[in-house]
Each structure stands twice: as C-alpha cells, then as structure tokens.
C-alpha cells in the first residue's frame, strides 16, 4: 500500500519568479508536487523584510494543516530566515526540516553556536546535500541528519564526448563576491598568452558589484568574454556544447548544482578546492581541484586538459558516471521515504 503524500510548506528564496537564477525551492518544490505532495511555498518577495514576513505568515496560516515545514538554510544573511522560521515552528509545535545549503554553515556553528545548535537539534531532521556538511555536523556532535544530495534530471543534460579540448571556458553562477568571478577573467588573461584563440563565457545574473567589476576588467584588458546574463536552463545547456572546460571559481561552496550539471554535460571541471567540492570531485579522476584564488594553479590545470585531451576525456566520462547518483529518479526515493510517511 502506497504511503500517504503529506502536505508541506517549503520556505526558501524563490528567485526564479522575479527573474533570478532558480534556487533549490524553485527546483525541488515542483518535483515534490509531481510525486503527489501538496507544497505551499514562500517567498518570492524581493524586499527582504517583506520576504521574511511572507515566510512567517505562510507558516502561521498553514501550520494546522501541514505535516512538515521544509526550510532552505543558507549561510549569509538569508541564514536568519531559517532561524526565525524554525523558532516559529517550535512555538507552534510544527515539525520542521532544515535543508542545509550554505557553504559557510560550519562557520555559523562556530559564530552562533548556542543559537544554531538549538535550531539544528530542534529539527525533525537536517538534510545535508553533501558529505562535507554531514562531517561538519558529526564533528559538532549533531546527529539528527540525513544525506540527500542535490539532484538533476539527467535526461535534460545530454552528454557530449569531446574529441578535442579547446581553450573555450564556461562559467555559470550568480555574480557575487563569494563566488570570485574575477578569478575566471584573470585566468583567461594569462591563458591568452599561449592560446590567443581562448574565449570565456560567464553566465549568470548580477547579485552585487562584482558584475560591474568583471565587465570593467574585461574592457580594460580587452578580453574575449561574453556576458549573456541570466539564461534559462535550456539556453545555457544548449550553449554549453560550444565550450570545453567548466570553471568553478568560488571561495565558498557546498555542492553546487551548476557543477553537477557541468559534469553531466561532459564538461571537465576545474574548481577551487573549498567546502564540499572535494566530496563531489575526486581530484584527477572526476575533475581537477586547485587552491582558492590561485590563478597559476587554475591555469596549470586548464593547460593540462588542453595538452592531454585523452585525460580530459577520462575525467569527463568518470564525472558523468559519478553524477548518475544525483539523478532525480534516484534521489526522489529518499525524499519520498522521508516525507511520504
């Protein structure tokens, strides 16, 4: 007999509704609905105070009919949404589940130990999308967690086998300081010295002044860079077929979906070795890892892929095999087991 599909409230930043990059709530909520769950979401409000108010109001309005409140938990200012919403759930005696997304949540445990520990321990369960976060919780003696990775629909990501690796670099992320987009431009600047045909495409919306900083740097150095802005998933997947190496330049990370998507598409990934990245990428096997902010190290690994296309192909194939475990058809079984009871 099939388990009853529960009524859920999902709290997160619905950026897609206001023209931003889709976040976890934009992706996971529709998938859960397709599995038979009733999911009410909040919030797509642009103003942060109005967003928090909408989140809290939604929990209050639906708390008697909901079976659980899912809360996307980030590590920067949005961290406080999770704090206030979880405390409201405790007051209303509503079961809540934290989904630990932020790459700096481990440092939050050090910065706000009593507050954050109470929030985590009060949860019905804490979902960790990376082994990195699981290890952090275990180290801090918090054991009410469950590993459920970020997912993609692999059928939407056609694998491309690249016979030759060209110096065509793709970067996909929001333009935010913590993702260090300027590093990609500095790498390109040096790559052009030996590969004048090199090119970079940086896909993503503006989040802070780093977007203008990158454009100004590209103009000043006369770099061959495209800034197409925010693209739909379908648009950037199509675009990816014209590029051969994926760069992840971030200073802070957990298990980014954009990197999983790149691995699925057959793009060998050169990433900074931060947060959950070494748990996602096995250096030299499913991708290449370099120290954060290190232009020379990233350039060296790009040159390795260019000079040894057979190694790039091996990495590409191994990465695709790795992310098959992130396919929604696999991951959804974990969600249904957790929520459908």
* Dist. CA 88–CA 52, nearest whole Å: 12
Region 23-30: what's the mean pLDDT?
Answer: 92
pLDDT digits (tens, 9 = 90+) for 148-176: 999 999 999 999 999 999 999 999 999 99
Domains of the chain: 7-148 (3.40.50.2000), 154-325 (3.40.50.2000)
At what angle are helices 328-339 and 24-34 packed, to 10 degrees?
Answer: 80
pLDDT digits (tens, 9 = 90+) for 76-122: 888 999 999 999 999 999 999 999 998 888 888 888 788 899 999 99
From the list 10, 118, 127, the residue with the least C-alpha distance to 70 is 10
Region 224-252: what's the mean pLDDT?
Answer: 96
pLDDT attached to residue 341:
61
Q: Please answer whether residues 92 and 57 qualify as being in contact, where contact means their C-beta atoms are separated by less than 8 angstroms.
A: no
Give the contacts of 140 (CB within 8 A, at least 6 positions apart): 109, 117
Q: Please answer whether residues 328 and 153 qualify as being in contact, where contact means their C-beta atoms are separated by less than 8 angstroms.
A: yes
Region 131-141: what's the mean pLDDT?
Answer: 89
Q: Is the peptide bond before 35 cis (omega within 30 degrees of 0)?
A: no
pLDDT attached to residue 67:
96
Q: CA geometry: angle at 309 spanning 304 and 312, to 5°?
A: 75
Three-state DSSP state, 149: coil
Q: CA geometry: angle at 227 spanning 224 and 229, to 5°?
A: 170
Query: How would residue 340 be classed by pLDDT, with cut points 50, 70 and 90?
Result: confident
* Dist. CA 205–CA 47, nearest whole Å: 17
Look up residue 166 and give its two tokens.
């060209």
């Amino acid at each position: 007999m099939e388990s009853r599909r529960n009524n859920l409230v999902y709290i997160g930043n619905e950026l897609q509704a206001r023209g931003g990059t889709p976040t976890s709530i934009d992706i996971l909520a529709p998938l859960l609905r397709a599995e038979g769950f009733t999911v009410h979401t909040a919030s797509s409000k642009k103003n942060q105070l109005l967003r928090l108010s909408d989140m809290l109001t939604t929990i209050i309005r639906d708390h008697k009919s909901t079976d659980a409140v899912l809360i996307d938990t980030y590590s920067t200012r949005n961290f406080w949404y999770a704090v206030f919403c979880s405390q409201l759930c405790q007051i209303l005696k509503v079961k809540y589940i934290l989904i630990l997304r932020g790459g700096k949540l481990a440092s939050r445990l050090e910065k706000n130990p009593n507050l954050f520990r109470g929030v985590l321990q009060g949860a019905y369960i804490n979902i960790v999308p990376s082994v990195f976060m699981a290890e952090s919780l275990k180290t801090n003696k918090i054991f009410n967690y469950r590993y459920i990775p970020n997912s993609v629909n692999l059928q939407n990501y056609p694998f491309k086998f690249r016979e030759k690796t060209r110096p065509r670099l793709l970067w996909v992320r929001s333009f935010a300081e913590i993702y260090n987009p300027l590093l990609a431009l500095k790498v390109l600047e040096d790559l052009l010295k030996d590969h004048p045909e090199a090119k970079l495409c940086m896909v993503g919306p503006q989040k802070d002044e780093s977007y203008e900083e990158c454009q100004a740097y590209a103009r000043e150095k006369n770099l061959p860079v495209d800034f197409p802005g925010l693209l739909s998933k379908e648009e950037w997947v199509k675009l990816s077929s014209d590029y051969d190496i994926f760069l992840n330049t971030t200073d802070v990370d957990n298990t980014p979906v954009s990197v999983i998507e790149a691995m699925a598409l057959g793009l060998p990934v050169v990433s900074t070795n931060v947060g959950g990245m070494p748990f996602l990428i096995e250096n030299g096997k499913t991708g290449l890892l370099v120290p954060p902010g290190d232009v020379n190290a990233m350039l060296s690994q790009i040159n390795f892929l260019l000079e040894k296309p057979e190694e790039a192909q091996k990495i590409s194939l191994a990465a695709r095999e790795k992310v098959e475990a992130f396919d929604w058809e696999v991951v959804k079984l974990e969600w249904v087991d957790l929520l459908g009871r």
